[in-house]
Structure 1
Amino acid sequence: MENQSKAMNNLEGINRVLVRKNNGYKEDFSSEKLLKSLILVEVPIREAQNILNKIEDIIFDGIKTKEIKKLLYEYLADFDEELANKYLATTALKVRTSRDKIEPFDLGKIANTLVVETGASQETAFEIATDVWKELKKLNVEYLTAPMIREIVNTKLVEHGLEDLRSKYTRLGIPVYNITSLIENGSRDNANMIHNPESVHKYVADEALKQYALLHMLPGHLADAHMSGDIHIHDLEFFAGRPLNCMQHDIRTFIKYGLKVDGTGDHTSVAGPPNHIETLMNHTGEIMLAAQQNMSGGQGMSLWNVLIAPFARGLSYGDIKQAVQMLVYNLNMAYAARGSQVPFTSMSLEFGVPKFLEDVTAYGPKGQVAGVYGDFENETRLLQRAFTETLLEGDADGKPHLFPNTIYTLRNETLKGDYEEDLLRVHELSAKYGSSYFANLLPKYRGKMANYMGCRTCLQDNWTGDWDEDCLRTGNLAYITMNLPRIGYQSKDESEVFEILDSYIDMAVEALLIRRQQGLNCLNNYNLLPFLNQEVEDDIYYRINNSTLSFGFVGINEMLLALFGKGIDDKDANKFGIKVIEHFNKRANELKDETGYRWSVLQTPAESTAYRFASLDKEKFGDKAILQGSDSANYYTNSSHVPVNSDVSLVEKIKIEEQYHPITAGGHIFHAFMGESYSDPQSLMSLTNKIAKKSDIGFWAYSSALSFCIKCKTLMKGLNNKCPTCGEVDDVEWYDRITGYVQQVGRAKSSSGGWNPGKRQELLDRRRFKNE
């Protein structure tokens, strides 16, 4: 202590020198601080004094703090390199950590994180940490950051041939440039999302979770297959935490037992069984919102107007309609789903009580037995009428209500009975907005139930044969899409097509099984999906064992063109397309026997996948790639559809596409893009009768392009660049069906908006059918 005091006294006479700190401020040079920092790392007093003398000889007014520390390190290294390193680590190198703190550098922390995060041995961990330290010493930076250190660690892991450890240790994130672009411009990956702070937050989180799935959850060969475009693994951002896709709810569960939106009632208010129709309408919306937090896809309710009909008993039509209006507006105004979206909802309505439900116990107010559903035919019909009229009226500005997707179920009795007035009203809705869907239960391949959950994913009573078990409280767990055109480019003959196809299916199976296991983990082990995991009648609400694992596909038309020079509209070529989908079904049936799980085949709702595959194949195959669209915006024909710009007639299109609906039980849709002459509801209703009775089309919609003037609130048919009422050009919004739902395209005069370039080009390519 005496020597230290003497050294301090000898420094008091130094001329005043100002040192510039890291934050830009200046302070007096302090020999005392430097001496303390050297003594702290156990530098002998005599040597510390010698080093300070050298510093005093060369410092100058305005010298930076980091320059002084660098000089100290160099002088100390000449004396003792080990002490110099200790000084550098504890004094000069500061780390901005992920815990929002600034801490001294600690080599041991690198080694410890390697052991904990990757399972590396202590020996390997300290070897890597030492190499990292050697690199860090060379840097002339004011602060290290945790990401910077982690990047150097990963580099050293690669240099040491430890790629498996690197994949576990890597940091997930998104570049600053990308975040800036999201804030300034938004994204067009999802047409159901607007540009706002919540959507920016979602995209940033999504990117990290996608990387997590590709790096941590999926084997390298599956990640490579997805990235290269052989297959598309959907919803990677939800693979880890929300691995379950679409769901079909059973409203009776909440009628009987009430509602816990968090699944437990521990964190929110608990509602008992509803006693009034208004309460039930509110619960219906809350169910959809709550489940959306637990799932990645759409929420559907089948038989809705039948199952809630007891609540309409004794009410006037005006009261019933007011309650339905409340539900429709709530579903369209609840910007509370992920990324500030409205929940993706679908509602299946019946024109009357189906025969198989007539003697089934009905539950009404307070969850009490109210008779059987056959007792509520009139209420069922009034609820359907109220729903349809509410949709027909549009919102206060005259725009269509975009959700829920409203699906009208057609049965033999529907088209033969006294439902003509109801049917005509639904077709008025189709003629005005093109928003209604039709589920056809007449074909021979149908059973009692076929319910659709969003774009097209479907459940039918073909698993156990029980309509309740097969179709309610379950859904599509996940689907993976195969790039069929690429198979066409790579195959020399038909046998090679199936060889490559089998390799794609094998990868899809592996990925789907990983996702199913993650679903089980999230439900049972991680307590991550409490709404789906809530107890219902000695079981959990979501019946995962009844959910489907599905094979999807894009571009049968382009695959056929690559193989035969003729597309799906050629009868002979199309036979091979059917053969390909039958091969999918054969594998699905084999997998059912092997695994006991419910496998299916669906037409992928390829909102972005058709664009992504086409873009990747254009790069990979050049002129060999057969693409739809323009040079700047390419896409593949969706699933087994006829190209949107084909000159085949509507009847021919139906005949081609109906062949695929019986063999895509996991989901399908027929798009009829209608022109002005089909604005007549009677014409549409006549067409519906023909499709339902004379074809195997299982699900379809009449899609009409619309334009809406934001300035004067004028709704127009077709894609118009100018409002005929007020002459507005800049604020004319386009609407059309994107894959399975009507949505804003964006401004007529702008290339930006909700649709990606490929999908926007497909819109422009669509041929509209006239009355034929």
Structure 2
Amino acid sequence: MPREPLGVKVLKAVSSPLRLRILDFLMNRGPLSYTEIMKLLKLKPSRDAGRFAYHLKTLLKMDLIEPDLEKKKYRLTSLGRKLVEVAEEIEENAFQRKKMLVRTSRLSLEHFERNKIAESLIKEAGVPADLAQSIARETERRLTKLRTKYLTAPLIREFVNAILIERGLEEYRHKLTRLGLPVYDVTQLIKTMSQRAVDVEAVHEAAGDAVLEEYALLNVLPRDIADAHISGSLHINNLGCWVLKLEGVMHDLRFFFRYGLSPGPGLEKIPRKPPKDLESALSITIEVLKLTTRESMGEQTVDFFNVFLAPFVGDMKPDEVRDIIRNFLIEVNHLIPSGVSLGLELTIPRFIAEISAVGPNGRNVDIYGDYVEESLLIASSIIEAMLSEEKPILNPSLIIKIRNKTFKDGKAERILFEAHRLALKRGTPYFANLILKEQRYASYAATGFRLASEWSGDWELDTLRTGILDSVVINLPRACYDSGGNRSRFFEQLRDRMEMAARALEIKYLTIKERIGENLLPFLTQCRDGDPYYRLENSSRLVGFVGLNEAVHAISGNPIYQSEESLKFAVEIVKFLSKELERYSNRPDSRFNLSMISCRNAAKRLAELDIERYGLAKVRVHGGRKNPAYTDMTAIPFDAGIPLQRYLRIEEQFHQLTPGSHLTPIPVREGENGPESLLSTTKEIVNTHKIGFYTYSRDMAYCNNCDRLFYGEVVKCPLCGSVKTMTRFIRRSAKYATKTLNSI
């Protein structure tokens, strides 16, 4: 009798469905023990041991599997692997006409291809090729059982992720996570944004920010930092732009007045020549602000605004200057989506006065000290234009800079008086107290951000053509609750969170350097004479905190303003944070600054998370049960109801300890009818207190129908009785929030 060919014997060996399943398990799961295979086949040892041993022996005899004596498991041989692949190919060809369709992320329908899963695993998650093929086969097997008309890419990814989790391959699953928003979330986002009086572009940006926020948390930040943000120990600001944009920019208009405007490589726009007059200088300024919004997400500050523009006034009449300035303010208000701060000098400081001025056509024209009258005309024109509008102009914001000579110059003092009239009538200007020695070179943004010459000692390098890299906020009450109120453990918690905050900002710095290397910030990094416009290495990294008052209250038993002991403890906390941050500032290109950041979102989010974890009975918040939040931007709530002198004495202690950002809002008292009272308060502040930056604040309401502004809590227009035409202006942070009355 002729000998039976080996091929026939092998095919007979796999003719049993059970033996083929054994080969499949070993192919997809790798080496398995005797017991593991029986369990997968759902066989009972007491009943099926003999039958199972027979099938296993057959596979061993045909050299389809082999024992791994060291691990006491069975594994496929090369012949066994080949046989499984042939079987799968036969099955695939047999069902070619019934092949599953996939709706891809490219919005097309394609036939299902198992190899694409393997390729994706290798490319996106770095999975070894054999393991990737094994997971792809298992995914195909499970999807085939669905009998659905077509599959979607997210559904396939869900199956792949489930298999990775089952096999304990969590790290690969993490890398394979798909970013995006569920359909329900997008629907809710549109509804929520529609209630905020914004346009469709704002919805578009919010959706994009949500995706990039996920990306930053999953793929950029280390797991411990991401978890700290999600759980509420920290708040990382601007996560939606964390990997792409800077937070704030301090401009130097002289750069563009000298060289003109180059949109940067990759932007198909025609360069503009240096401006020849005031109108073209302001036009270029608008373009600078527009282009910068593409590469930064926060406040843009144009310091020394009136001084650098002064050489362009020439022989213009005051009325002409006022008209051009008013048009500029309206254009900024309408066209620039980000906040803009304009720094106004009422007296030209010596370090500016003696510098050669950049004038028409980019040429040097004398020194800035020769243009005092022109700079004052521009400053007064801006204030006059803002007073002429019944509805408050909230953007741009004015930074009125007060120096030693301000009260010694009659013209400067008159403009300062008008600035206080604007503060009383519209509540919009901010005041920088630059009389103190350490404040001489300080530049502020309306958000409270501050840059001065403490970094390199050169005021131009430290304050202009740089800005704010980004900011991270520490949740002080959470550290208190996590430490059980124990002071030593509380400070240990703060040390750990400071380290994470500093590390997050270092990652941000390296990430932005990558974007610059990829030429994705072409405007801000344009070079002249080898020197980029924006000096990234000089940008400030802000570490802030919220809930100082609430943390002190929880530990000491009293809020800061009710006890000297509580105030002393609050100062101790901030000094500790300052000292810890100094450890990271000694490194190259690491300009860290402690800050009292204005961040209402962080104050609300962190308070709500703490209430979820510890309960409202334990967590102390500002704003009550309906609108819980921690105190931000100031040490104590500015509506605490304490005397102004006491309030200022408390706040000044923290301004000196938080050089990166601080701002003290001063409520305008009811019945205050003249600017003289506010000016008197300003004189007291600059002569008596070490308050670096402050603003006068009042609640207002504007009727769009009557074009009239009213003060205080107005329920409806006193003139026409309308409710829906009313807009309220409420300051709960550095800037006013606007709300329609029917949405409050």
TM tier relative to shorter chain: 0.7 to 0.9
Structure 1 counterpart of 2:363:
368
**Which structure 2 residues correspond to residues 550-629 of structure 1 after superposition, within 5 A?**
550-569=542-561, 570-622=563-615, 623-629=617-623
**Which structure 2 residues correspond to residues 339-354 of structure 1 after superposition, within 5 A?**
342-354=337-349
Give, in whole Å, the separation in 2 of the partners of 1:736 and 1:681. 21
Structure 2 counterpart of 1:383:
378
What letter is aligned with 2:551?
Answer: M
2:266/2:522 contact within 8 Å kept: no
Structure 1 counterpart of 2:203:
200
Give, in whole Å, the separation in 1 of the partners of 2:349 and 2:95. 79
SS at match of 2:118: helix
Determine if the alignment matches structure 1 residue 737 to structure 2 residue 739. no
Q: Deviations along 1:578-624, whole A, 9 cap, x unmatched?
A: 11111222122222223452111111111211100110000111121
Q: Deviations along 1:355-382, whole A, 9 cap, x unmatched?
A: 2212111010000001000000000100
Q: 1:694 aligns with which of 657, 680, 688?
A: 688
2:475/2:546 contact within 8 Å kept: yes
Q: 1:410 aligns with which of 396, 402, 407?
A: 402
1:118/1:169 contact within 8 Å kept: yes
Give, in whole Å, the separation in 2 of the partners of 1:478 and 1:329. 29
What letter is aligned with 1:558?
Answer: E
Give, in whole Å, the separation in 2 of the partners of 1:89 and 1:368. 75
Q: 1:545 aligns with which of 505, 529, 537?
A: 537
* Structure 2 segments unaligned to the other structure (5+ residues): 1-86
**Which structure 2 residues correspond to residues 278-677 of structure 1 after superposition, within 5 A?**
278-334=279-335, 342-394=337-389, 398-418=390-410, 419-446=412-439, 448-491=440-483, 492-523=485-516, 525-569=517-561, 570-622=563-615, 623-677=617-671
Q: 2:101 aligns with which of 88, 94, 104?
A: 94
2:298/2:338 contact within 8 Å kept: no
Distance 1:116 1:81, change over 3 A: closer
What letter is aligned with 1:378?
Answer: E
2:357/2:368 contact within 8 Å kept: yes
Distance 1:232 1:565, change over 3 A: same
Distance 1:89 1:180, change over 3 A: farther
Structure 2 counterpart of 1:21:
none
Give, in whole Å, the separation in 2 of the partners of 1:450 and 1:476. 14
1:486/1:617 contact within 8 Å kept: yes
Give, in whole Å, the separation in 2 of the partners of 1:170 and 1:137. 23
* Structure 1 segments unaligned to the other structure (5+ residues): 1-79, 336-341, 752-772
TM-score using structure 2 length: 0.86
Give, in whole Å, the separation in 1 of the partners of 2:512 and 2:157. 31
Compute the displacement of 1:293 (Å): 0.6
Give, in whole Å, the separation in 1 of the partners of 2:443 and 2:181. 39
What letter is aligned with 1:387?
Answer: I
2:430/2:446 contact within 8 Å kept: no
2:634/2:662 contact within 8 Å kept: no
Structure 2 counterpart of 1:252:
254
1:704/1:718 contact within 8 Å kept: yes
Q: Deviations along 1:395-425, whole A, 9 cap, x unmatched?
A: xxx2111111110000010122212211111
Q: Deviations along 1:102-130, whole A, 9 cap, x unmatched?
A: 10000000101111111111011111111
Structure 2 counterpart of 1:712:
706
1:292/1:298 contact within 8 Å kept: no
1:255/1:274 contact within 8 Å kept: yes
Distance 1:187 1:211, change over 3 A: farther
Determine if the alignment matches structure 1 residue 114 to structure 2 residue 121. yes
SS at match of 1:270: coil
Mean Cα displacement is larger for which, 85-94 or 145-154?
A: 85-94
SS at match of 1:542: coil
What letter is aligned with 2:533?
Answer: Y
Give, in whole Å, the separation in 1 of the partners of 2:369 and 2:140. 77
SS at match of 1:628: coil
Q: Deviations along 1:20-52, whole A, 9 cap, x unmatched?
A: xxxxxxxxxxxxxxxxxxxxxxxxxxxxxxxxx
Structure 2 counterpart of 1:47:
none
Structure 2 counterpart of 1:129:
136
Compute the displacement of 1:552 (Å): 0.4
Compute the displacement of 1:639 (Å): 4.2
Q: Deviations along 1:617-652, whole A, 9 cap, x unmatched?
A: 001111211112222221111144322442211111
Compute the displacement of 1:676 (Å): 2.5
Give, in whole Å, the separation in 2 of the partners of 1:678 and 1:516. 47
Give, in whole Å, the separation in 2 of the partners of 1:152 and 1:698. 58
Give, in whole Å, the separation in 1 of the partners of 2:584 and 2:358. 38
Distance 1:326 1:122, change over 3 A: same
Give, in whole Å, the separation in 1 of the partners of 2:266 and 2:211. 31
1:90/1:104 contact within 8 Å kept: no
Give, in whole Å, the separation in 2 of the partners of 1:535 and 1:748. 49
Q: Deviations along 1:240-274, whole A, 9 cap, x unmatched?
A: 121x211100000000000023x237510110111
Q: 1:215 aligns with which of 191, 210, 218?
A: 218
Distance 1:115 1:89, change over 3 A: farther
1:292/1:343 contact within 8 Å kept: yes
Give, in whole Å, the separation in 1 of the partners of 2:735 and 2:530. 36
1:90/1:105 contact within 8 Å kept: no
Give, in whole Å, the separation in 1 of the partners of 2:92 and 2:669. 77
Distance 1:594 1:265, change over 3 A: closer
Compute the displacement of 1:675 (Å): 2.7
Give, in whole Å, the separation in 2 of the partners of 1:515 and 1:325. 38
Q: Deviations along 1:676-698, whole A, 9 cap, x unmatched?
A: 32341111111111111110100
Q: How many residues align?
A: 654
What letter is aligned with 2:348?
Answer: V
1:306/1:352 contact within 8 Å kept: no
What letter is aligned with 1:455?
Answer: T
Give, in whole Å, the separation in 2 of the partners of 1:86 and 1:184. 49
Question: RMSD of the alignment, in Å?
Answer: 1.6
Q: Deviations along 1:334-362, whole A, 9 cap, x unmatched?
A: 16xxxxxx222111101121122121110
Compute the displacement of 1:169 (Å): 1.1
1:310/1:363 contact within 8 Å kept: yes
Distance 1:378 1:684, change over 3 A: same
Give, in whole Å, the separation in 2 of the partners of 1:127 and 1:255. 63
Determine if the alignment matches structure 1 residue 141 to structure 2 residue 148. yes
1:402/1:743 contact within 8 Å kept: no
Structure 2 counterpart of 1:271:
272
